[in-house]
A = this chain, B = another copy of it.
Amino acid sequence: MVLDVPRGFKFVGVHCGIKKCKKDLAIAYSQTGCTAAGVFTTNVVKAAPVLYDMQLLEKNSHNIRALVINSGNANACTGEQGMRNTIRMAEKVAQQLNLPQNSVLVSSTGVIGVQLPIEKVENGIEKAVGLLTDDPIQFAEAITTTDTSIKLSYKEVELSGKSVKILGIAKGSGMIHPNLATMLSFIFTDAKISQQTLKKLLKDSVEKSYNMIDVDGDTSTNDTVIVIANGLAGNEQLVEDTEEYEKFRDAFDEVNIELAKKIVEDGEGATKLIQIEVNNAPSPESARRIARSVISSNLVKTAIYGEDANWGRIIAAAGYSGMDFDVRKMTLQLSDGQETITVFESGHGTDFDEEVARQILSSKRVLLTIDMNQGTSQAVAWGCDLTEKYVQINGRYRT
């Protein structure tokens, strides 16, 4: 393994038999108790492991020792039996690793509405615990469903003279076979940080990363972001509003934003990454909502897929964001990172060169920059294009 993973963490990923052949069971373990924080789906219909983790973290967010994740089955809409199976997963891991049961968090991702083959999962856990290593790759593989690539991000920062490491491992969202579709992201760090600070850090970071991506607008029953910090780096405990904290926060944000972008790039049927930057908006909320409204528009997604500089759709999507603004002050630019053209200015379209526009849109990464010119707030969102392949994959997935 080329990564120098955060101190004291071990990982494993195995095949336990939920899926036919691929790895479907992952465990992460910390030598010592971790402070932990989680952000979970806002969907009212929450999978059993989501409800379980939310309850557990309310009672114990100071001594988390392990995560266990299965893929291939979401354990959602599975009633009381589903909750019993989640508890059995936590119990089995606790028993095998000699940990308190309430120190084990559980996640699931996969098909909705089918009961877990719990004996297979339990046998898998028995097998897996003997295989824990420093290498997170098998873990990253085992949490994927139909992702076309594993998703890791790694950063290292020096804090109070100590090297502090942050490792993020995620799996893709909705588009990659939405029935097996959930965004899971796990962040491991050896930083020393209080639970309260960690909780706020995670909440703010999620707002800037996973909450600013859109694949198809559907929110899963299982979406989960968890961070655990074991303090083994030996840094002085991080305190908000200090330089050290900000250094850590920036690295933490970078990890989450990198994972979020990897998720949209791997969107189902996607051929392009779309980035939208909204500048000089009247308020942070309006910047965010305008960016999200544009990135979520099917019409914008299909236009960019078709490499069509159809700026009217972008302006119209900003317009139905629910935020009030003066369109006569807006400017819209398209860019591929090298060439940039202005297509809309002062309330109407410019006389831009269609050929240059087409060339920009033929890029794999398309940047849209909206200057609202009516404030100082900024937001960035990421998404992918909408293709025929998305419809094909999703139209006939389950049967």
Contacts and interface: CB of A to CB of B under 8 A. Distances in A.
A249 interface: no
Interface of A: 42-46, 74, 76-79, 82, 111-114, 174, 178-179, 216-221, 296-299, 302-303, 305-313, 315-321, 323-325, 327-328, 344, 346-349, 354, 358, 386-388, 390-392, 394-399
A297 B348 CA distance: 32
A221 B305 contact: no
A313 B44 contact: no
Contacts of A174: 299
A359 B306 CA distance: 35
- Chain B CB within 10 Å, residue with most, of A306, A311, A328, A395: A395
A9 to B, nearest CB: 32
Contacts of A346: 79
A25 B46 CA distance: 52
B319 A45 contact: yes
A348 B302 contact: no
B323 A44 contact: yes
Contact of A398 (B79, B308, B315, B327): B308
B79 A328 contact: yes
Contact of A399 (B317, B354, B394): B354
A312 B184 CA distance: 18
29 contacts: A43-B316, A43-B320, A45-B315, A45-B316, A45-B319, A46-B319, A77-B327, A111-B312, A112-B313, A112-B315, A113-B311, A113-B312, A113-B349, A178-B313, A217-B217, A218-B298, A218-B299, A218-B313, A218-B317, A220-B316, A299-B394, A302-B391, A302-B394, A303-B395, A303-B398, A305-B391, A307-B399, A308-B398, A310-B397
Contacts of A307: 399
A306 B179 contact: no
A217 B321 CA distance: 12
A391 B394 contact: no
Q: Do most interface residues of chain A lie in helix, strand or loop, or is the interface mixed?
A: loop
A374 to B, nearest CB: 12
A112 B302 CA distance: 17
Nearest to A327: B45
Contacts of A308: 395-399
Contacts of A82: 348
A232 to B, nearest CB: 38
A344 B43 CA distance: 18
Contact of A395 (B296, B302, B309): B302
A297 B218 contact: yes
A348 B77 contact: yes
A358 B399 CA distance: 9
Nearest to A387: B391
Contacts of A302: 390-391, 394-395
A220 B320 CA distance: 8
Contact of A79 (B219, B324, B348, B395): B348
Given A45-B316, A179-B312, A396 B306 contact: yes
Contacts of A316: 43, 45, 76, 112, 218-221
A113 B348 contact: yes
B44 A78 contact: no
B310 A179 contact: yes
A195 B317 CA distance: 33
